[in-house]
Every structure is written in C-alpha cells, then in structure tokens.
Structure 1
Amino acid sequence: MTQKQSDKRSEQGRLNRCGGPFAAILSTAVACFQGGTPSLAAEPPVTGTRQTYAIAPGPLASALNRFAEASGVQLVYDSALTRGLKTQGLSGTYGPREGLRKLLDGSGLSARPSGQGSYTIEKTARDDSSALGGEMLALDKVTVVDNAEADYDPTDPYDKTYTVSDTFPATKTDTPIMETPVSIQVVPRAVMEDQKTTRITDALENVSGVRPQSSLGATGGFIVRGFRNPLIYRNGLMSIPSGFRSEFDTANLQSVDVLKGPASVLFGRTEPGGLIHITTKRALDIPYYSLEQRFGSYDFYRTEWDATGPITDDKTLLYRFAGSYQNNESFRDFGSNDRIMVYPSITWRPTESTDFTLNIEGLDQDYQGDYGVPVIGKRPADIPIRRAFGDPNDPLDNISRVLLGTEINHRFNENWAIHNRFLANFGHGDETFLNPTPAFGNALNPATGILQRNVFFQRYDSEGYTTNLDLTGKFRIGPTQHEVLVGYDYFRSFTQYRTQGFYNTPNPALAINIFDPSPSYGIDKAVFDSAVLETEFANNRSVIKDEWHGVYFQDHITLWDKLHIMGGGRYDWIETGRGRGSSFSAADKNLPDTIRKDDGFSPRVGILYQPWQWLGVYGNWTTSLGANNAGISATGKPFDPQTGEQFEAGIKTALFDERLIATLAYYHITKDNLLTPDLTTADPDDRVAIGRQRSQGIELDVTGQITDHASVIASYAFTDARITKDNRTLNGVVRGYEGNRLTNVPEHAASLWIKYDVNGYEAPEGWSFGVGGVLAGQREGDVENSLQLPGYVRMDAFAAYRLKVGPTRVTTQFNIRNLLDKRYYESTDPDINVSPRLGVYPGAPLTAVGSVRVEF
C-alpha cells in the first residue's frame, strides 16, 4: 500500500451494534414491513473524517464497537468470528480502512468494503460459511448501504463514485484536499470509464485551465494556467525525461491529478502553470478480472484487460496485469494509429509494515504524423477538416517507451514511515513526414493555395533515471499537530536527437494545392528513402544532458482542527547542456562546453482556515525553477533557468455530506526567461529568451456526488495570459510583443459532465445516462497574435446498462463525442516542427464508440 493509499477518507454511517447478522436481517424485515427504509441502528448517521483513536488492547469485539462509534462506519460480522480474540489496540490518526486493518492485525480477520460506509468482517482465508449456534450463515448475502457517504476507493475496482477527498501530488502525504491550501483537481477512474477516454488528453478536458498542445497530431504537451508544460509525472517521479512527444494510455491509470501553480518545492523541475500527475493501478489482495471490447467510427477497435489478485494464500504476494491494444483509422486522410500497452505489476508484503512494488510499462505506437491545416489570413483555411497534406506512401511513424518502476514503503509505527521510489525510462521516436517548407517561413501561397513541401526525418533515443527518498511523520507539540515531510530526489537523463532531410529548402516536385490535393498524392517511396539520407545543415545531431538533485522539507501544522498552515522549501542543484555536431561523437565532444550549472531555492507557504468542516478559505505563495535545456542560443550557449512565482487565494467547499468538493481560486503567475525560436538564424534549433510572461485568472472546479444517482465533474476558467516583457530583436528592431496574448489560451473555457444512475451508482444493475460539453473561447494561434482559432462548444453523451449474470457483471455502453458534429480546432503547433500558421489541428467530427465489458 502506497503512502497515497494510506486511508484518510471521510466515512459516515450507522452502527450495527449487535455485530451479528440476525439484527441486520430483523431490522431490515421490520423496516420493509413498515414501508420504510431499512435501518440497522436507532441512532442517526454520524458524519466522520479521519479520527484520532486511543483504543486500548483487549477483546476484539469491544474494540470494534469503540472503533465504529468513533468513526461512524457500519460494521457487519458474525459475532462468532471475534469470540475469544484479542487486539493490540489502536493509537493514532487513521481513516476507517487503515484503522480496521490495524485493529484486526494478527486476528486472522480482514475488513471488506460492502457498501457506502460499511465493512464486512470476515476470515482472511475465507470460508464458505460460518457457524453461529449450529446454523450456517452466508455473510455475502448481507448488504448494507449508507446513503450519507460516498468516497473514491482506489482499492475497490467496482467503485464508480466521482468523489475524491485526497490526492498524493499536493503534499506527498495523506492530507485531505479540504485541508490543503493549494488548488488541486483529480479525474478519477470512474470518469475515464464513463467518458471512454483512451488518452490523458481527453481526461484533462475535465480540469479548469488545462489545454492540449499537440505536435504532429500526437500529444506533445499541455498548457496549464497559460504556460506550456511538456512534462508528465508518474507515481511521484518524472516520466518524460527529455520532454519529447509521448503518449499515455489510460488502461493502467487509476487517476489523473493536476496540481495548479508551481510545484518545484516537492518535485523539482516543473512549469509554473502546474503539475500533471498520473497514478497507475496497484495490485489488490482480492481477485478481480475485467475484459472490454470497444468498436466505433473510423474503424476503431480497442481491447482492454485488467487482472489482479493474490498469488499466495497469505496475500503477501500480489499481482496486477493491465493493458490495451488499439487500432484505428482517422477522420484525417491517411491517418492511422496502432498502439499496444502492457502493464505487469507485482507487490510483495513481507511484513505488515513493509511493502515492495515492481511495475513495468511498455508502449509501442505506430501512427501517421500530421501537421494539420494551414492558415489563410487570420483563420484556418476553409477546407474540409479531413484533408491532410501528407501522402499515402509516407512511412509510418513510431513512438515507443519502456518504464521500469519500483516503490518501497516501510512504516516504523503508526506515525513515521519512509518511502523510496525509482523509475527508469527508455524512450524512442522515429518520424518521417512531408514538412511544409520552409517550416518556419512562408511555405503557403494564400492566393494560389500552393503549399511547398519536402521530406523531413527526426529520431530521438532517451534514457532517464529518477529516484527519491521521503521520510514522513506525525507528532504533536502543545496544541499543534504536525505532519512533516523531509526528502531527497535525483534525476539524470541523456537524449540523442538526430534530424535528416529538408525543412528549409522546398522541393518543387512535392508542392501541393490545398484546394485540390489529389493530383499530388502517390509520391514514390524512393523519394522518402533518399531524403532521410541527406541533411540540410551541419549540426544535425544533438546530445542533451539533464541532471538534477535536490533536498526538500514540508510541515503541515494544524491548530484547533480549523487552521492549517503549510510551509516548506527546496534547494536544487542543476546541470544541463546540449552539444551539437555532424555526428554523435562530435556532439559528445562539444557537450562539455555547453554545460551550465545552476542552483536555487524554491519556497512554498500556504494557510487554510476552516470555520466549518465543509468550508475552507486559503491562500498560498510559491515559486518554481526550470532549466532551459531544451534549446541553446545561436552562439551555442545555454540560457539562464526559467523561474516562476505565484500568488493564489481561494475557497474550498465540501457539500452534500462532503460528497461534492468544489474549489474556487484566483491566481497571479509570472514566468521569466521563456524560450522561443530565434527567427534571425537558419537553424530551427536556435532559441532566444523573450523575457517575461504573466498569467492571471479565476478557476472553478466541481467534482463528486450530488446524490447517489447524480454525479458531476465540471470546470470553468477565466485566463488572462500575456507577454509582459519581450527582449527579442530582428534587424536591430525590438519585436514589441508586450501585451500580446499567449498562444492557444482561451480567455473563457469550461467543461461539464453529468451522469445519472437510475438505480444509484453502486447498484450492480441498471441504466446510466450522461451528457456533457466542452467550451473554449477564441484563442491566439501565435505570439504575434496574427491568427485566431475560433471558439467552440462540443457536446458529448453516453448511455450504459449494467446487469449481473451469476457472479459476472456485464456492462454495455454507447458513447457519442461531438454530438452536434461541430467543426472546431484544438490548437496550433507550438513552434516545434512548423510555424503555427502551417499547423492547426482540427478536432474530430461526430464519433461514436460502443463497448461491452465483462467483470468478475
């Protein structure tokens, strides 16, 4: 069990004080006879959160009663199971699941979630029945549901709630969201399953202030609070060391989290807009198997699988194997995708206090690079969005990645623990495509529609290693409760990057008319083969080095259970460089001359006041530090590191019995030393720092359960992101971009997704319906603000039916994306492969997906 999974979720319920099944059956029968709702106790529900317990060692039955009274959870068990058993007691602050695990330690019993706010106590080595007074009773027939509580449980594969009360990236500890003075949003697994998302790009549409930033039609990064972010963190560690394009399939993901604002204090190299973090599935100690088949528009076929459970009878060795295979065409001409992802994981628990997890993730994707449509005037060209300007003979492109991760957790006692994580990343990219040429110039004649092209090839191979060591602890000094974190992390990566072909010199024989492209299709394969053997400039090979290590600390102080003060800081040592040459050996030789060493301190302070349990008012100040290793100047020298600073204030609420969490935030962020292509040189890798950018705005995020039937995830963002200082010059003249809006950032954006479960979200059978939409206002396509992408509203919907066939659950579902078949454009290329005027990526038209899922 990871630190993130340390249970701290709110629990509410009624207590079955008798502890036996007879009371449950009798009270249910009486309630049904009277026409009322079944109740297992006379007392009203008790609203609970993480509790501090002081239960002395002694009889287990008495301890369970005391635990239930304090926590408000409902316990269902056969009293014969606890007869004669003792417990070592419970001392400290726990959530219900962790507290029960501690109480039952050594008893041969375990607690199994059996409904909202209820747990069934049963033998760890499970019997088919238990004896009570000579009568055999099947506990599995007892169903207890408390409608006052709903909270996301990552250890329950059947959990369909949208409510999430805690998240790892905010503090790296088990502090609840409502007590954390930062803005953080979580997209749980249930949302991804309802929306049938296959990439994190689609999942992040549910979070305010986050926009996709595609490159070559694939995931190249995201924009968070106005700033581009190519980095993705996975289980606490950086997962894309080079920042190059990559994909993340959702089949093995448990959640996607976005920590808003600078997160350098805990994670080191991050962008000031925010941190995107994915949490993968963990091995469970209960058997679970799932197989799903999807099929849809554009010859879309996708198979997902998930299997987990114990390997040994004592459940000290667990496994999980998840993955997916997807094959589809595209609404774009010549577009296709063939992707497989496999994810085996194993967890070993040698003792109650120690666990070790090993996971491997392999992804291989063949696809067709696509730079979108060009711009005429100030808008995307008025041509069919299916029309692409590649070629049917263009070789397929490839992205592949292998991740090897480990995690060790050891708990010294109830309050202190140590955590170590390690991740090795091996990435590869190989792409050949017809490039608009010159890629950063006037490749298109808007009057004639003639687009000049040539063949271009790029390849990268990267390896990265990152690890950390965290010590977490809880203690009390006088009236103050402290939750502390002290840690160290280290990151090192090397990337080889090679380009071939032509990006600046057009081949007249490859020119194409964007209004009538058919006559230009069918380029001889030999043209591609010969082009990738030639190069247009001398320094076409690069070696990129990136090395970071830092120490950090954090203290979360609570006074009177209402005032939460968080303070911390981090000191980084950075070494970056990029050597270039006509060969990799020459680039290696030139690397030492480009090495730049930096260091810096990144603080974070925040305060949150809860006048009531359901309301919190907070504010924070934090900074960020990021190396500019992605580019070098025309003189071959690296740049000063990027720095960011944020001020934020907001309100958090937990409504409907703490099942719906909402965050309203105002922020102001500045970022210095941002890099952009140097248009004064012929080398596309040359960069220049434009000075300072500023982003400020208001964000609202709402996630959770309104009732047992209605679930919602929604967002709104007002973002004012601009260039406030520009140092670039061309021919001795200042470019004067001050005041221009940042690219691909809408001033107004929103999303809404509402689901209605006819029989309740926990019901194993019944209909579910959902409808939602994504809104984005007009966006600037480049820093010159010379082109605009029109605003749009996209509607989505789904319907599903769940039924049980014996012990098996079967779910059939039908999703429609872009229900109204609206034309819209997602983004421009971020000056990586082509000028923004030559690369605008359209969104998909109406797309339908059907699925059948079997779980047992």
Structure 2
Amino acid sequence: MNNRRSLSWLISGVLPLLMLALPAGAETAVRADQEEEAGMSLVPRPLSLGAENAVSTEQAQEVGTSWVFSPGSLEEPQVQATNAHSSMTHAPEQLPNAPIPQLSDLDHPATTVDEWMQQIAQAIVQVTGVQVNPTDTGVEVILETAEGQLAAPVTSVVGNALIADIPNAVLALPEGEEFQAASPAEGIALVSVTPRADGIRVAITGSDAPPVAELRTETQGLVLSVTPGTEIIGTEDDAIQVIVTGEQDEGYNPSRATTATRTDIPLRDIPQSIQVVPRQVIEDQQAQDIDEIVRNVSGVNLSNSAGGIAEIFNIRGFEGTVLRDSFRRGVPFELLDTTNIERVEVLKGPSSVLFGQLEPGGIINVITLEPLADPFYSVQFQVGNYEFYRPSLDFSGPLNDDRSLRYRLSASYLSSGSFRDFTDSERYFVAPVLAWDISDNTRILLNAEFLNDTRPRDRGLVAIGTGVADIPINRRLGEPFDEDNVEQWRAGLRFEHDFNEDWSIRSAFQFTSRNTDSLNTETYSLDEATGEGSDRFFRQQLGRLEESYALQTDLTGSFTTWGISHDVLFGVELSRITSRIPDFFQQTAPINIFDPDYVEGPRPRLTVAESDFADDFLDTTNNIGIYLQDLISFTDNLKLLIGGRFDFIDYESINLLAAETTSLYDDAFSPRVGIVYQPIETVSLYASYTRSFTPNLFSRTVDDSRLDPERGTQYEIGVRSEFLDGRLSATLAAYQITKSNVAVDDPDNPNFSIQTGEQRSRGVELDIAGEILDGWNVIASYAYTDAIISRDTSPLEGNQLRGVPEHSASLWTTYEIQEGDLQGLGFGIGAFFSDSRQGDFGNTFRLPGFVRTDAALYYRRPSFQVALNIKNLFDVRYFEASNSRVAIDPGLPLTVIGTLSINF
C-alpha cells in the first residue's frame, strides 16, 4: 500500500511540475540534420542572401555574373561570382556596396489605373519554353522568355531536390500547364517546372543527393547549369549536411516509421512486422474513418464499433491498441478524425516494451500533420449520398521571414444521414498546430484539437440461429430519440533538444478530456421465436467525464565500442487517467425486430430513484514506465535490437453510490529481442521475441487473492524485400502469439475466477506496397490467421476467437496518366475480402464472408483536384463486426462521394 500511495503522489505531484518546467532551457539546442529523426517537420534553409547582402540583377549583368550555389558552412551558403577576365569569391559581408541611388533615379508609383496595369504587365515575365540539354557534367535547364528579365530565384533544398522559386514569372508553354523531364542525365532523377500562386517553381531532383546549380542570365532567358550532388554527411571536412524540410513524399511505399522503436530508423532495420498507410492512399481512397485506412494492412479488421461511436480493432486475432502520435488514446472510445492525419503506422504483435499495458494484438499509431515551411492553402468540399456533406480546410506556412515559426490549421464540418434509420450525425473538428525553432538545436511544437460529435448509439442487427437475422440492414432497433453527444479536447506540447551530433532529448506532454451525454435504448437479449427484445433498457449517461494526462521523455544517443555501433533509447513515461461514469438503467417496452413500433417524442431524464439499477464510479489509474532499448550494429548488415520496460500501476475505483473502494497495485517487466540480417542490400531477414501485459482489474478469486497480469508472448520470423530500385516493397511474416494468465470461470465457484485460461493465434501475412511503373501504385495484403481459445474451464475451450477471419485479403491499385493532354487523370480499383468469422466467443453464430469492391476516378492539377469515389460498387450485403448476438454491425451499402479540392 505504501508503494501504491507513493506512486500516486509521484504522478500527481511531479507531473504538473514537469509540465511547468518543460520549456526551460529552450535556449540550448537540436541540430537541424537530426530534426527529422525527432519526428518534427523541419524548416527549409534558403540558399539565398539576406536582403542586406543581396546582389542586384543589374550588378550581375554588368560583370557577366553567374551565381554558383555550392556547399558551404551550415550558417551561410557561399555565392561565387565569375566573369571572363577574373575569378573572385566573396563572403556575403564582403560584397561591394551598391551606389547610393538619387531621388530622380527612383521609379515613381502609378497614378492612374492604366499606368498601374502597365507596370504589372512589365513586371510579370512569361516563360514560353523550357529546354533540358545534357552536358558533360550534368544538364542545362533553360527557361526561355520572350521579353523581360526573370528575377533571381529563391532556392532551398527539400530532400534530394533543389528548389528554385521565381516570383515574377508565369508559365506560357505551348505543350501544357507544366513541364517535366524524367532522368535527363545520370544522377538527375527529375526536372519539373510548375506554376505557383506567386510565380513558378523549378525542382531538380537528384537520384542520391541534392544537385548543385550554377545560374546565369542570357538573352534567351535564365540558364541553370546542374551538376549531380554527392551525399556527404558528417565528414571530417565538416561538409554541409542535407537538411530536410518535412516528410519526403514517398507515395505508397514509405521507407521509415517511428512506432516500432520511437526513433526514426528504416523499416528494413526493424525486426518486427510494421506497415505504413501513407497520406496518398488515404486521399486516393477518400477514407472517412480509421477502419477504411487499416483495412489495407494484413491481419487487421474491425472487431467492434461500440454502437457506432468508436472503432475497436483486431490485429492477429487479438485486440489492438490505437495511439495518437505515439500516445495511447487517453480515454476509452476516444474519437479520431481523418482531417489532420498524415499517415497510419501498424506495428503487429506485443509492444509493451515501449508503450506499457497493451493487448498482444499490436498498435495502430495515427500520426498527425505538422506545420510546413512553404505556404500551403487547401480547401475541400465533399458531397455524397445519404445527405453527406463535409467541407474542410488545411492551411499551413511560416509566420516569420526565417521560417523558424510555422503554423498549421486543419478544420472540418460533417453533416450526414445514414443508410440506417434515424441515424443522423454532425461533427465539428478543428486542430491548430504551432512549431517554433528556438535555435538550430532546440524547438518546440504545440498542438490542440477540439471535436464535437453528435449521433445516436446504434447496436446494429441481431442473430437468429446460426446467422444474422434476415431483416433490412437499414432497420435500427433503438429509438428515434437516442443520442450521444461528445465534446472532446486534446492539447499537447513537444520539446526537443540536441546536446551534440549524437545525443538528444525529447519530451512530450498530452492532455485529453472527453465529456459525454448519452441517451440510448439497447436490447440485451432476444426471444428468437417471436422476435421480441426481451431485455430492453433505456440507458442514460449524463456528465460522463474522462481525462488523461501523459508525459513521455526519451533520451537517445549513438556511440561506438570496439567497432560496434549502438543506438540507444532511455525513456520514462508518466500517465494518469481518471473517469467519472454515472450509469442509469430503466427497463422499457420490448421491440419486435420484424415489426418495430417506435416511441414518439423525447425521452425524459432519469433519477436514481426512477432507475431499475444504477452505477456511479470514479476510477483513477496511475502508471509509471521506465524503458531501455539498444540497436546494436555489429556490421552494416547484421543488427540486434534488445530492450525492456518496467511498469508500475496503481488503480483505484470508488463506487460513489455504495461508498466502496477497490484498489490494485501491480507491476510487470516486458522484454523484446530481435535480430536483422541483410544478405544483400534489398533483403532483410529477421526474427524476434516480444511480450506484453494487461492488468487483471475486474476479476477476483474465491479467496480474494490478487491475479497476475495477462501476458502476451510472440515469436515471429519474416523477410522484407525491396524491388524496382526501392519503389516496391514486400513483407512476409510468420508468427505465433500466446495470451496467458487469462481469468476464466472457477468451476467450483461459478461467481469467481481462476487464472488458467489461454488463447493462441498463429498465422502468415504478406504485405506489398509501392510503385510498379511511373504512375501505377499498388497496396495489397493477405493474412492467414488461426486464433483459438486454447485453454479454458468451460465448453469455450477449442473455440475460435470472435471476429477473426481465417483468410483475409485486400488489393488497391491506381494509375495516373503522366504526360500529354490527359496528364493528371487517374483511376483506382480495389477489393477487400474477409472469410466468414465467428460472431461471439461461444461460436453460436457466424458472420458470412464477403468481397467489397471500391473504385475511384480523379483528375489532379497543381491548383485543384476533383475525384469521384464509389464504395461497395456492387452493393454487396455484408457485416463488418459483432460484439454479441444482439450487436452486429452491418457494412456500408453502395456509397458515392464526390470531392473538389482547391489549392492556392
């Protein structure tokens, strides 16, 4: 008990102090080259001179100047000025001062509309042609102009691309609205010229590193002499490092993820199956919820919708845990909106080594959007059948000249009917984010979310005999007055600082609050002969309040001992979750599923005295986790990942109506060991052993002794391969997970439990994602899953686990025309297959198998996109999930969604 009280005191006392102290020391600092590893969007470093040191275009022309951009120090890029007679190099502060202009030399402002329009016309220069000519050292890019002088470009580096933005230009090309040349020379992957709201953008992408460009002005226009760059990172000569301004778009095949190790390492180095569904897939499919995103991943399926108000998933036969930016969802049934989702990472198998108490299925980590360094403004409007309307916006950009302060604002509104009777929904969502680079080495990120969602709780259909009742899928068995109203807040702070090139610290805090008012009618049993819901109750939860506080602090570092490199992670996590759940029940008239008679008018509120039974609990869970991980690289192709975590849990539940308190103190150790061997660069072979734990909070033995935590243990082997020069990847994995210490009914004392239960899942999974040809993308999966109750004291032993199909598969592919008059026109087609599944743990009924087919047609231009998505193209009747015989979720019928997006 002293340990429990100490733990509670530590979290309640230390956590607020850490919150207050978190920004302290912000003047010390994180290297820009490691910012991407820390998981933050980064600030571009423009390769241009400051205004006080700028060389005018006129001065450049007088001496025949060409500007050469070459690697210099991290503080200032060097600019080289050359002519036919001399060669001299100036640091920016050494450039000669321009003559002081006289008042008579200055241009006078326009005094009439005609003069103003004439000045605008003279200022804007038309680019009438683009030439890309190979040279001995690379390529020469020529921007042809009919007349006028192009302004000096503002350049920056994004990944392997050198970007040159020209503000006073417009494209007037005879062949189309933009220009592209793929692989024009060795070391140069792409040259593109595209329009922008404030000019044009020239992007030159290197195959392995950003190219180097020399700019010069000629009578025919602007000429860029491009030389392929060389990737030089951290040499003794202190060469410039590649500074990335954000997550590089890798299409359908991202190469990195943070969920598996809390560090940004390549997927090929991770000894555990992990798949990433990127933003492009989400947009191509116009996914409206998390379920439509993760169905692209093998072994993942919806397990339960909690009455249509949340999403609970199965991964490899066991319940999975949903994270938000590597934080566990702070409160049960926390709602997620897709408006600000960047990507979704799915880590399969036990993962308590980094994330504490979890079910053994795995993790679905939802990564949200972060601010951009370049201005970006997008407005979108979606409309569909069932009176579906959803406008949204996404604005981002810098707030100051050096782009050290950036913002992002995502917002949406949803108003929709449903194929289910009287099941309308409405949602407001807004998510502002602010990123601040305090110095080159230190930065912080602030984010917030507000969501208000109103819809009824819908338990779906019911089972009769061994199948689903043959009633229309639109028939809802609640009442028209049913309603759930959720008001949800989230706020977070992330602080990062690099001490040097090798060591850095990251600390993140998150607060979540959810307030729910719920009035719903639910059927708990059914007379299958008559179709009457025999146990039917009106359930009221007014003022249900849930809050969570979580703080994660990670210290990461790299060092070498005896020629063996180590990438280590040491972390501490503190969390507290509190909930107040007033629950009132009153039995109400049954409803006949074949001929329902609904109640008209609003439902009056219940008091405790009017309730047939009521609960009112105040629950508090405190947790401390301490973890250590080391990725040991014996050679470039042989790596060992080892780690472990200690968790200490303090749980207290107060029954406010009965004035009773229940307390539990528990602890657990969770290890992980994995090895990766890469016989060739494109193939990774791996094997791993991982464990998880979940406290047994709600079961007790006949002698009231404490139950040990449930433990999940996984053995996994697999291979990850890359094809087509890394554009396509595939992961094949085989595994076995055993969940032990499961509390089951005591055969001698039916009202109590014993801890001998066991569940087992084994299977094989295949995931494929990437680009087959230019413009042809694919993401596909297959899973074989054998999940059973392997040990029990009841007839359940040997039964299959609820909602787990033995075979499941998915395929989604798109093709977008890359050139010509129809460039930007794309098509998509996909199929999602599920074998039949058991509807409950008693295996009393089955959900039938199904194949759902989706299709898409879209047209994309830089300034706008239009799309038409058809879901369940052949209007197949299917069932997504079930929680019991009286809670079966029907699948979406034929649905059409049109989307218009405008970027400016």
Same fold per TM (> 0.5)? yes
| Contact 1:455 1:532 survives alignment (8 Å) | no
State the Cα distance separating 1:497 from its structure 2 match. Answer: 1.2
Q: Distance in 1 between matches of 2:206 and 2:432?
A: 30
Aligned: 1:701 with 2:767? yes
1:477 aligns with 2:531: no
Aligned counterparts of 2:721 and 2:607: Cα–Cα separation in 1: 59
Contact 1:546–1:629 at 8 Å: present in 2 too? no
Query: Secondary structure of the residue that 1:232 maps to in structure 2?
Result: strand
Aligned with residue 628 of structure 1, among 696, 711, 726: 696
Alignment correspondent of 1:360: 448
Select the residue among 364, 379, 387 that pairs with 1:291: 379
Q: Please, which of 197, 200, 215 is the counterpart of residue 306 of structure 2?
A: 215
2:885 corresponds to which residue? Answer: 837
1:3 aligns to 2:90 (yes or no) = no
Q: Give the C-alpha shift of residue 764 in structure 1.
A: 11
Residue 463 of structure 1 pairs with residue 544 of structure 2: no
Query: Which residue in 1 is equivalent to 2:869?
Result: 815
Distance 1:530 1:235 in 2: 39
Unaligned 5+ runs, structure 2: 1-34, 43-66, 71-79, 83-126, 140-154, 166-186, 188-200, 230-242
Read off the aligned partner of 1:792 and give its amino acid letter.
F
Query: 1:192 aligns to what SS in structure 2?
Result: helix
The 8 Å contact of residues 701 and 753 in structure 2, kept in 1 or not, is answered as yes
Q: How does 1:310-321 map to 2 (within 5 A)?
A: 310-321=398-409
Q: Does 1:744 align with 2:792?
A: no
Matches within 5 A, 1:534-545: 534-537=610-613, 540-545=615-620
1:325 and 2:384 matched? no
Q: Deviations over 1:318-377 (max 9, x none)?
A: 111112111100100111111111100101111011110010011110001111111110
Matched residue, 2:828: 770
Task: Give the CA deviation at 1:632.
Answer: 6.8
Work out the CA distance in 2 between the residues paired with 1:638 and 1:524: 49
**Paired residue secondary structure (1:515):** coil
Structure-2 separation of matches of 1:40 and 1:254: 41
SS of the residue 1:206 aligns to? coil
- Indicate if the aligned counterparts of 2:163 and 2:202 stay in contact, CA closer than 8 A: no
Shift of 1:544: 1.6
Change (3 A) 1:549 1:137: farther
Paired with 2:384 and 2:896, the residues of 1 have a C-alpha distance of 5
- Aligned counterparts of 1:299 and 1:739: Cα–Cα separation in 2: 46
Corresponding residue for residue 778 of structure 2: 712
Identity of aligned residues (%): 36
Q: Which residue of 605, 608, 612 corresponds with 1:529?
A: 605
Corresponding residue of 1:107 = none
Partner residue of 1:803? Answer: 861
Secondary structure of the structure 2 residue equivalent to 1:397: strand
Q: Using the TM superposition, give the Cα deviation of residue 476 of structure 1 relative to its aligned residue in structure 2, in angstroms.
A: 2.0
How far is 1:675 from its partner?
5.9
Does the Cα contact within 8 Å between 2:41 and 2:371 map onto a contact in 1?
no
Cα deviation for residue 427 of structure 1 reads 1.4
Q: Distance in 1 between matches of 2:602 and 2:528?
A: 29
Could you tell me how far 1:410 is from its partner in structure 2? 0.7
Q: 1:226 aligns with which of 296, 317, 320?
A: 317
Q: For 2:549 and 2:483, how far apart are their aligned partners in 1?
A: 29
Any conservation in 2 of the 1:113–1:120 contact (CA below 8 Å)? no
CA contact (8 A) 2:802 2:839 kept: yes
Q: CA deviation at 1:481?
A: 1.9
> How many residues align structurally?
726
The 8 Å contact of residues 237 and 467 in structure 1, kept in 2 or not, is answered as no
In 2, Cα distance between equivalents of 1:682 and 1:142: 82
Instruction: Find out whether 1:184 has 2:274 as its counterpart.
Output: yes
> Do residues 408 (structure 1) and 510 (structure 2) align?
no
Unaligned runs of at least 5 residues, structure 1: 9-15, 32-37, 44-63, 79-95, 97-110, 124-129, 147-152, 728-734, 830-835
Amino acid aligned to 1:824: Y
Change over 3 Å in CA distance of 1:155–1:457 after alignment to 2:
farther
- Residues 678 and 424 from structure 1, CA distance in 2 versus in 1: closer, same or farther, beyond 3 angstroms? farther
> Quick one: distance in 1 between partners of 2:445 and 2:823?
34
Report if aligned partners of 1:246, 1:399 keep a CA contact under 8 Å in 2.
no
In 1: Cα distance, 2:753 partner to 2:540 partner: 20
Contact map agreement 1:419 1:470 (CA 8 A) in 2: yes
Question: Deviations for 1:383-413, whole angstroms, at most 9, x for unmatched residues?
Answer: 1101111222x14211221111111111122
Contact 2:36–2:244 (8 Å) recurs in 1: no
The structure-2 alpha-carbon separation of the partners of 1:5 and 1:274, relative to structure 1 and needing over 3 Å to count, comes to: same
* 1:235 match: 325
C-alpha offsets along residues 589-637 of structure 1, whole Å, 9 cap, x if unaligned?
x33xx21111121110000100111101100001112223467789998
Task: Give secondary structure in 1 for the equivalent of 2:786.
Answer: strand
* Cα distance change, pair 479–332 in 1 and its aligned pair in 2 (3 A): same
Report the CA distance shift for 1:187/1:158 in structure 2 as closer, same or farther (over 3 A).
same
Who is 1:512 aligned against? 591
Contact 2:138 2:228 in 1 (8 A): no
Q: Which residue of 1 aligns with 2:485?
A: 398
Question: What TM-score do you get using the length of structure 2 for normalisation?
Answer: 0.74
Amino acid at match of 1:616: S
User: For 1:706, what is the secondary structure of its paired residue?
Assistant: strand
* Code of the aligned partner of 1:697: G
Q: Provide the C-alpha distance between the structure 2 equivalents of 1:725 and 1:823, rounded to a whole number of angstroms.
A: 35
SS at match of 2:291: helix
- Give the equivalent residue in structure 1 for 2:649: 574
Task: Determine which structure has more spread, i.e. the larger CA radius of gyration.
Answer: 2
Counterpart of 1:104 in structure 2 is none
Which residue does 2:512 correspond to in 1? 425
Q: Which residue of 2 aligns with 1:90?
A: none
Out of 520, 523, 528, the residue aligned to residue 446 of structure 1 is 528
1:303/1:114 Cα in 2 relative to 1: closer, same or farther (>3 Å)?
farther
Counterpart mapping for 1:683-694 below 5 A: 691-694=757-760
User: How many angstroms does 1:545 deviate by?
Assistant: 1.6
CA offset digits 1:133-174 (Å, max 9, x no partner):
6879669x999999xxxxxx9966994711200001111112
Please point out which of 614, 619, 623 is paired with 2:687.
Answer: 619
Task: Note the 1:189-200 alignment, pairs <5 A.
Answer: 189-200=279-290
CA distance in 2, matches of 1:754, 1:468: 38
Q: Does the CA-based 8 Å contact 2:205-2:211 persist in structure 1?
A: no
Distance in 1 (CA, whole Å) between partners of 2:895 and 2:748 is: 43
Structure 1 window deviating more from structure 2 (790-799 vs 397-406): it is 397-406
Q: Distance in 1 between matches of 2:356 and 2:464?
A: 42
Judging changes above 3 Å, is the alpha-carbon distance between structure 1 residues 137 and 176 closer, same or farther for their aligned structure 2 residues? farther
The answer for the alignment partner of 1:491 in structure 2 is 575
TM-score, normalising length: structure 1: 0.78
> 1: CA distance between counterparts of 2:875 and 2:206?
39
Distance in 2, matches of 1:401 and 1:363, equals 5
Seen in structure 2, the aligned counterparts of structure 1 residues 223 and 76 have a Cα distance that, compared at 3 Å, is closer
Q: In the alignment, which of 570, 584, 592 is matched to residue 500 of structure 1?
A: 584
Residue 849 of structure 2 corresponds to residue 791 of structure 1 = yes
More divergent stretch after superposition (617-626 vs 155-164): 155-164
Aligned CA-pair RMSD: 3.8
Distance 1:817 1:145, change over 3 A: farther
Find the aligned partners of 2:138 and 2:350 in 1 and give their Cα distance. 49
- Which structure 2 residues correspond to residues 227-266 of structure 1 after superposition, within 5 A? 227-229=318-320, 231-240=321-330, 242=331, 244-266=332-354
Q: Counterparts of 2:392 and 2:275 in 1: how far apart (Å)?
A: 26
**Structure 1 residue 841, shift from structure 2 partner:** 0.7
Q: Alignment partner of 2:367: what SS?
A: strand
In 1, Cα distance between the equivalents of 2:492 and 2:322? 15
SS of the equivalent of 1:207 reads coil
CA distance in 2, matches of 1:710, 1:562: 31
- C-alpha change, 1:145 and 1:353, in structure 2 (3 Å) is same
Q: Write the letter of the residue equivalent to 2:827.
A: F
Distance 1:116 1:390 in 2: 60
Equivalent residues of 1:401, 1:428 under 8 A apart: yes
Aligned residue for 1:801, secondary structure, equals: strand
The correspondence of residues 551-590 of structure 1 with structure 2, limited to 5 A, is: 551-582=626-657, 586=659, 590=660
